Amino acid sequence: MTQRPTVLVLGASGTLGQRIVRLFRKHLPVVNLIGGGRQVGFHQ
């Protein structure tokens, strides 16, 4: 039940998600590291 919402968020990060991620990256560099690490792990 913990991975399901994560997968949904990653899948939804197609267009709107990417825009939000970009805003978060610019506003919160810490989130960029956490989100980037998670995305890299999921993508690879």
Element spanning 1, H or E: none
3 sits in the region (left: phi over 0; alpha: psi -120 to 50; else beta) called alpha
Model-wide pTM > 0.85:
no
**Could you tell me the pLDDT band of residue 12, with boundaries at 50, 70 and 90?**
low
Q: Are 24 and 32 in contact (CB under 8 A)?
A: yes
- Quickly tell me which residue has 């949904």 as its tokens: 8
What pLDDT, in 10s, does the model give residues 24-37? 767 666 655 666 65
Q: Where are the domains of the chain?
A: 3-43
Mean pLDDT of 32-44: 55
Residue 42: per-residue pLDDT: 47
Q: Is the pLDDT of residue 18 over 70?
A: yes
Summary mean pLDDT of the chain: 62
